[in-house]
């Protein structure tokens, strides 16, 4: 005779039995997992029993970024904490300071490190020394920030896994009833895991992380004697990373960590997912962005000139660029770069004649290569080429 499934729906009507107080800068998922462990339950099971029936699906999403009014209300009602207490632990509380997006966004913006990044093999980041010192181990919100790759308190690199069994940190996998500083797979203490101290020659990168951290904490940066809202700087972060991450081709000789960055890029060609190489690369790129804002406009304009960055490169496809960012680029990057240098008709005619003389095919791509411009972006070149092509076509037709 088949056994009847036990109906646990009644548990949803009761308060949480034990409610630990949120700790300073604690992540919502960290606090909820601590509550679940106090109830001797896995996070998904706990959410199913005490909060709502879809607990397993909720635990697989990014709870820290999820904007769910009903979930918030349920947690508030069952914990007796205020909605402000719950919201403060959510990454949504950083909206308007670290990032800007609509309430319906399901996935965190680029300023927030993904909960589990399969492309970069990230798990949930943490500082081993912070966990070791905690009376009650917990995970901080700042460990989710893209720019925060080192612990500014202990001056060591963050890590994303247990370095005994290489298991990536993921709260949904915790089945033991201990604490958050215990590996979900081998149950070793994460506070005793290996860590890498910031080398003396890496201090510039540490200074950069502290600069971004300070700007976020107070809500603004001082750049070129101007007060700039923190969200404007962080919204432009991804664009700067895109332009800077040129690997061995990057020209940024005055940047203190340029050799370390280029050597790392070579190592990443033979990338091992169990190594922390991508954490170091993000660290270097963060330091580069800090470098561009120092001694403004000298470092910035030198980077633009030596790497042949155009006005268009900074703005093309950047739909949500702030007025501050647009004005910065307008002031520091010559507007002519958007069109390219001025090209005259004689250059185009000369290029066509040269191609014919060497027996090469005459088309817009080959002609543009001789003239040294982009075949589709440069409007002046396009206009001249079409004009010459039209005259030639009409002449042949006659």
Rounded Cα gap, residues 375 and 365, in angstroms: 6
Lowest mean pLDDT among 13-22, 84-93, 212-221: 13-22
Tell me how far apart the alpha carbons of residues 162 and 181 are, in angstroms, rounded to a whole number: 10
Q: Name the 3-class secondary structure at 308.
A: coil
Integer-rounded Cα radius of gyration of the chain: 27
Distance CA 16, CA 36 (A): 9
Q: With bands split at pLDDT 50, 70 and 90, how would you rate the model's confidence at 278?
A: confident
pLDDT of residue 396: 44
- The residues near 73 (Cβ < 8 Å, ≥ 6 apart) are 83
Taking each helix axis from N to C terminus, what angle separates 298-306 and 323-332, rounded to the nearest 10 degrees?
Answer: 70
Tokens of residue 346, six digits: 């004689």
Residue 103 banded pLDDT, cuts 50, 70, 90: low
Mean pLDDT of the chain: 86
Say what the pLDDT of residue 82 is: 94
**Could you read off the pLDDT of 138-188 as tens digits, one per residue?**
999 999 999 999 999 999 999 999 989 989 999 989 998 899 999 999 999
CA distance 187 to 190: 9
Q: Identify whether the C-beta of residue 231 lies closer than 8 Å to the C-beta of residue 97.
A: yes
Residue 70 has pLDDT above 60, yes or no: yes
What is the spatial distance between Cα 139 and Cα 153, in angstroms, rounded to a whole number? Answer: 15
213-227, 312-326, 371-385: range with lowest mean pLDDT: 371-385
Mean pLDDT of 345-355: 83
> In terms of pLDDT, which residue wins out, 284 or 13?
284
Residue 91 and residue 108 in contact, taking contact as beta carbons nearer than 8 Å: yes
pLDDT for position 345: 85
pLDDT reading at 75 higher than 70: yes
Residue 105 has pLDDT above 80, yes or no: no
Q: Which helix (H) or strand (E) holds 314?
A: helix 311-315
* Alpha-carbon distances, residue 383 vs 247, 348, 380, 389 (angstroms): 35, 11, 5, 10
pLDDT of residue 45: 87
Nearest to 119 by CA among 264, 285, 268, 236: 268
Higher pLDDT, residue 252 or 334: 252
Taking 80 as the threshold, does the pLDDT of residue 371 lie above it?
A: no
pLDDT at 9: 56
DSSP readout, 239-305?
HHHHHH--GGG---TTSTTHHHHHHHHHHGGG--TTS-HHHHHHHHHHHHHHHHHTTTTHHHHHHHH
Domain edges within the chain: 9-192, 200-338, 345-397
| Residue 7 confidence (pLDDT) | 54
The top-scoring range by mean pLDDT among 15-24, 266-275, 376-385 is 15-24
Taken in order 47, 53, 56, 60, the sign of the CA dihedral is negative
pLDDT at 60: 67
The DSSP secondary-structure symbol of 8 reads: -
Q: Residue 352 — pLDDT band, cuts 50, 70, 90? A: confident
Tell me what the mean pLDDT of segment 353-370 comes to: 83
d(CA 43, CA 57): 11
d(CA 30, CA 105): 22
Which of the two residues, 56 and 167, has the higher pLDDT score? Answer: 167
pLDDT above 70 coverage of the chain, percent: 87
User: CA of 324: how far to CAs of 219, 261, 308, 319, in Å?
Assistant: 15, 29, 23, 14
pLDDT of residue 341: 63
**Distance (Å, whole) CA 117 – CA 62:** 12
Polymer length of the chain = 398
Mean pLDDT (whole number) for 86-107: 88
- pTM of the prediction? 0.80
Q: What is the dihedral of CA 238, 374, 312, 308, to 10 degrees?
A: 70
Structure token digits, residue 100: 């800007």
Which pLDDT band holds residue 283 (cuts at 50, 70, 90)? Answer: very high
How confident is the model at residue 229, as a pLDDT? Answer: 97
pLDDT of residue 286: 97
Q: What mean pLDDT is predicted for residues 20-37? A: 96
Confidence check: pLDDT of 373 > 80: no
Q: Which residues pair with 221 in a beta bridge?
A: 228
Residue 292 has pLDDT above 80, yes or no: yes
């Amino acid at each position: 005779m088949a056994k009847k499934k036990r109906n646990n729906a009644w548990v949803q009507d009761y308060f949480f039995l034990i409610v630990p107080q949120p700790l300073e800068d604690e992540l919502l998922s960290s606090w909820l997992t601590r509550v679940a462990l106090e109830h001797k339950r896995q996070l998904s099971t706990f959410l199913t029993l005490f909060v709502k029936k879809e607990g397993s699906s909720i635990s697989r999403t990014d709870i820290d970024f999820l904007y769910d009014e009903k979930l918030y209300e349920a947690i508030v009602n069952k914990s007796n904490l205020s909605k402000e207490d719950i919201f403060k632990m959510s990454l949504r509380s950083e909206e308007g300071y670290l990032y800007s997006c609509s309430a319906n966004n399901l996935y965190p913006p680029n300023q927030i490190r993904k909960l589990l990044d399969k492309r970069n093999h990230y798990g949930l980041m943490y500082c081993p020394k912070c966990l070791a010192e905690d009376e009650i181990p917990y995970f901080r919100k700042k460990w989710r920030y893209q720019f925060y790759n080192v612990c500014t308190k202990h001056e060591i690199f963050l890590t994303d896994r247990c370095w005994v069994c290489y298991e990536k940190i993921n709260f949904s996998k915790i089945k033991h009833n201990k604490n958050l500083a215990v590996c979900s797979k081998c149950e070793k203490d994460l506070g005793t895991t290996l860590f890498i101290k910031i080398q003396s020659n890496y201090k510039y990168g540490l200074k950069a992380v502290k600069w971004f951290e300070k700007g976020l904490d107070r809500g603004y940066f001082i750049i070129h004697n101007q007060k700039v809202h923190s969200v404007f700087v962080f919204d432009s972060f991804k664009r700067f990373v895109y332009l800077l991450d040129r690997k061995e081709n990057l020209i940024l000789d005055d940047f203190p960590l340029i050799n370390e960055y280029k050597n790392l890029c070579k190592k990443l060609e033979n990338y091992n997912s169990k190594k922390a190489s991508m954490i170091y690369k993000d660290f270097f790129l963060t330091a580069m962005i800090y470098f561009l804002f120092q001694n403004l406009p000298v470092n910035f304009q030198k980077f633009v000139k030596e790497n042949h960055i155009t006005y268009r490169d900074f703005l093309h496809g950047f739909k949500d660029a702030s007025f501050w960012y647009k004005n910065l680029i307008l002031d520091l990057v010559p507007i002519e770069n958007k069109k390219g240098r001025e090209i005259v008709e004689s250059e185009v005619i000369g290029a066509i004649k040269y191609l014919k003389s060497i027996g090469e095919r005459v088309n817009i791509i080959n002609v543009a290569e001789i003239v040294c411009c982009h075949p589709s972006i440069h409007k002046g070149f396009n206009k001249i080429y079409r004009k010459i092509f039209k005259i030639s076509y009409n002449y042949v037709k006659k």
